A and B are shown apart, each in its own frame.
Chain A
Amino acid sequence: MFTEFINTIYELFLSSGFAKGDWKQFLMLTVACLLIYLAVVKKYEPLLLLPIAFGVLLANLPLAGIKHPEFWTKDYLSTLTIGKMIHDGWGLIDYLYLGVKLGIYPPLIFLGIGAMTDFGPLIANPKSLLLGAAAQLGIFMTFIGAILLGYSPAEAGSIGIIGGADGPTAIFVTSKLAPELLGPIAIAAYSYMALVPLIQPPIMKALTTKKEREVVMKQLRPVSKTEKIIFPVLVTLLVSLFLPDAAPLVGMLMLGNLFRESGVVERISNTAQNELINIVTIFLGVSVGATASAESFLDLKTLGIIVLGLIAFSFGTAGGVLFGKIMYWTSGGKVNPLIGSAGVSAVPMAARVSQKVGQEANPGNFLLMHAMGPNVAGVIGSAVAAGVLLSILK
């Protein structure tokens, strides 16, 4: 009787996840717990890192079969029908992942970001668009580095876009170019964005003199409502005509901004910047996290992505600051080069870093509003860079 009881318990244990799971899955569960810790305790971009981390946890539960990587092969997808989805037992995460695969979630997140963003500082000082362009240097320098390390061009493009410091853009580009790297790239992108206050200041200080950091910039001019309404329409037209591949991101970003600035669709604007972006963030985070299975994540490529991601952020910051220095010299010392580092997107964290480093040099200086120009220009710049990568590498 007792032996039978022990045998039953033993068989139960043998069929459980504890016995069936391999060490890689348990290591990934530890990684997931570490990411949850970083999101909850250290507050590293918790809005996205928390759902991503839990997605990693769900995807690596032994025997749970929450996500099915076999459903995402080219052969399978080419014959996919709704009947096949039901027959093959698609799960919740598989259905949610369709939004990533089809490129739906990142543009919807951009819609919310557009509805939350005030482009006034950029309209008041259009030159800050150049800083947003210069900070994209990180993307392309990392592309070179990734090619040198043996990544394919499509993979290198996906790794490079981490330098855009824009999570939705990185996910959008990676889902099109190298979906197998989606998990590590999303985790690297969001982790480094959270680390912007640690990564940027040493680079900013190394590339500028105290005199340059002390520059007080003159007050920005007020921007009229008409300008703010024309701006999103104009940007959509110009960028989308120039680079059609950037249209989904830029178009939705500007649609959200038009909702905000027009003042006639307050309800839609509120939904875009609250409920919609929150719901999509949950779906995006969980489904992207679930792509980080042990087989795809525990690879030397992941290590390379983490190193190259840091290089991308550093070069982006350096590109912006160096272009800021050029503007400092050409303007006769009227531009503080520190605002250049904000060109790497990461809104509004990067602008706050410019403000903080500026105030360390000159406590009476206030750079936040000036840094917001390059900061929001960086969002447009990284979307344009994404369009370039997609149009050449897709």
Chain B
Amino acid sequence: MNLAINMTFVGMTVVFMALIVLALVISLFSIFFRTNKEQKTNTPNSNVNEASILEVEKDNQINTASESEDNISQGELLAVITAAVNACLGHRTNNKLVVKSFTRVSQSAPVWNTTGRSEYISGKL
């Protein structure tokens, strides 16, 4: 019985200690990455709304992937993106919209958020 009580205390203490240390370290690096991100987000804001021209930095990864693997030309992708943006803006003929290039943005929202949102929405339908 002594062993059982001892084991319970030791076990719970070790599990808590290990995960508390982990939580502290994760909190530290999350603070570090958050400040980094805030610095980055300041720069693209200044480029927005200059004209109806979308300037997006070139994405080498997509270029190589599209040329070698999918055989889809960058021009076709640009046409699709342009059409999508145009559709979002309401098909106005006076739109001087030119998409010069594009880049893939890594998914920032956790997958569970996305899944959760879609489940929630489908539950409401």
Mark A residues whose CB is within 8 Å of B: 118, 120-124, 126-127, 129-130, 132-134, 136-137, 139-141, 143-144, 147-148, 153, 156-157, 220-227, 230-231, 234-235, 238-239, 242-243, 351, 355, 366, 368-369, 372, 377, 380-381, 384-385, 388-389, 392
How far does the Cβ of B43 sit from chain A's closest Cβ, in whole Å? 16
Convert B45-75 into 0s and 1s, putting 1 for each residue whose CB lies closer than 8 angstroms to a CB of A: 0000000000000000000000000000000
User: Please, which residue of chain B has its CB at the minimum distance from the CB of A392?
Assistant: B7
SS of A interface (majority): helix
Contact status A127-B7, CB under 8 Å: no
The yes or no answer to B94 lying at the interface (CB within 8 A) is no
Separation of A127 and B12 alpha carbons in the complex (Å): 17
One of A226, A239, A368, A389 near B18 (C-beta < 8 A): A239
Which residues of chain B come closer than 8 Å to A139, judged between CB atoms?
11
Which residues of chain B come closer than 8 Å to A223, judged between CB atoms?
30, 108, 110
One of B10, B16, B34 near A392 (C-beta < 8 A): B10
Contact status B112-A368, CB under 8 Å: yes
Contact status B111-A388, CB under 8 Å: no
Q: Contacts A120-B112, A384-B18: A140 and B27 contacting too (C-beta < 8 A)? A: no
How far does the Cβ of A302 sit from chain B's closest Cβ, in whole Å? 21
How far does the Cβ of A151 sit from chain B's closest Cβ, in whole Å? 10
User: Please, which residue of chain A has its CB at the minimum distance from the CB of B110?
Assistant: A120
The yes or no answer to B106 lying at the interface (CB within 8 A) is yes
SS of B interface (majority): helix
How far does the Cβ of A220 sit from chain B's closest Cβ, in whole Å? 7
Q: Contacts A118-B111, A389-B11: A224 and B33 contacting too (C-beta < 8 A)? A: yes
Contact status B25-A234, CB under 8 Å: yes
The yes or no answer to B88 lying at the interface (CB within 8 A) is no
Contact status B11-A224, CB under 8 Å: no
Which residues of chain A come closer than 8 Å to B8, judged between CB atoms?
140-141, 143-144
Separation of A62 and B112 alpha carbons in the complex (Å): 48
Convert B90-125 into 0s and 1s, putting 1 for each residue whose CB lies closer than 8 angstroms to a CB of A: 000000000000000010111111011101100000
Contact status A147-B108, CB under 8 Å: no
Which residues of chain A come closer than 8 Å to B17, judged between CB atoms?
242
Contact status A231-B119, CB under 8 Å: no
Which residues of chain A come closer than 8 Å to B27, judged between CB atoms?
126
Contact status B19-A388, CB under 8 Å: no
Which residues of chain B come closer than 8 Å to A242, judged between CB atoms?
14, 17-18, 21
Separation of A204 and B120 alpha carbons in the complex (Å): 22
Contact status B110-A369, CB under 8 Å: yes
In the A-B complex, the 7 residue pairs with the smallest Cβ-Cβ separation, listed nearest first, are: A120-B110, A222-B108, A140-B8, A126-B26, A147-B4, A126-B23, A368-B116
- Known contacts A121-B113, A153-B3, A392-B10; 16 additional CB pairs below 8 A are A121-B112, A129-B26, A141-B8, A144-B5, A147-B1, A147-B4, A153-B4, A223-B108, A238-B22, A366-B117, A368-B116, A368-B119, A369-B113, A372-B110, A372-B112, A384-B15
Most buried by B among A130, A140, A235, A381: A140
Contact status A133-B16, CB under 8 Å: yes
The yes or no answer to B80 lying at the interface (CB within 8 A) is no
Contact status B20-A129, CB under 8 Å: yes
Which residues of chain B come closer than 8 Å to A225, judged between CB atoms?
106
Separation of A92 and B33 alpha carbons in the complex (Å): 52
Contact status A147-B22, CB under 8 Å: no
Which residues of chain A come closer than 8 Å to B120, judged between CB atoms?
366
How far does the Cβ of B28 sit from chain A's closest Cβ, in whole Å? 9
